[in-house]
Amino acid sequence: MEKEMVDYRDVLEALEKVRGLDFIQLASFFGDRGEKAWELLKENRVKLYVFWPSGRVMWIVVGREKEYIIYPAVGYCGCADFYFAVMQGRALVCHHLIAQRLAEKLGWYDPVVEEDGLYDSLMDEWKKIEVQYEEVSL
């Protein structure tokens, strides 16, 4: 039997139902991933980079070993859980995406302001981390 795909917007809607910092509710919706997301929030590991003067933004979640690029509008994360569980339909969302969404909703993230001149080098670094991971995972 084929697994039913879940729309990322449904996950976002579930996150909107989490009231404030209700850890029990978060864990009941997302289980272990909710607990891991909570840890990321507590440890202030969700970063919002704002590049000046362009105003470009980039969400980054600092994982245990790597920094992950998050594209919240499309529900993408560069982590292994996203690739192996979310993309294969075994999970709705990774804990990095949950943490980013909650951080944005609650205003609980670390804002980092950088000059536009650093955008390309930071993106190269973040993408290099993803490429290194993909090479190892294949």
What are the pLDDT digits (tens) for 17-63? 655 556 677 777 788 998 899 899 889 999 999 999 999 999 999 99
- Rounded to an integer, the average pLDDT of 92-115 is 92
pLDDT at 122: 94
Read off the amino acid at residue 8: Y
What is the distance between the alpha carbons of residues 74 and 93, in angstroms, rounded to a whole number? Answer: 12
Read off the amino acid at residue 52: W
Number of domains in the chain: 1
Domain, as residue range, for 25: 8-137
Binned at pLDDT 50, 70 and 90, residue 96 comes out as very high
Q: Using one digit for the tens of pLDDT, what is the confidence trace for 67-76?
A: 999 999 999 9
Cβ partners under 8 Å of residue 87, min gap 6: none
End-to-end CA distance of the chain: 27
Whether 38 is covered by a domain: the verdict is yes
Whether 37 is covered by a domain: the verdict is yes
Whether 3 is covered by a domain: the verdict is no
SS3 114: strand
pLDDT at 26: 72
Whether 1 is covered by a domain: the verdict is no
Count CB neighbours of 97 within 10 A. 29
- Rounded to an integer, the average pLDDT of 106-122 is 94
- Rounded to an integer, the average pLDDT of 93-120 is 93
SS3 28: helix
Whether 86 is covered by a domain: the verdict is yes
Q: What backbone torsions phi and psi does residue 119 show, to the nearest 5 degrees? A: -55, -55
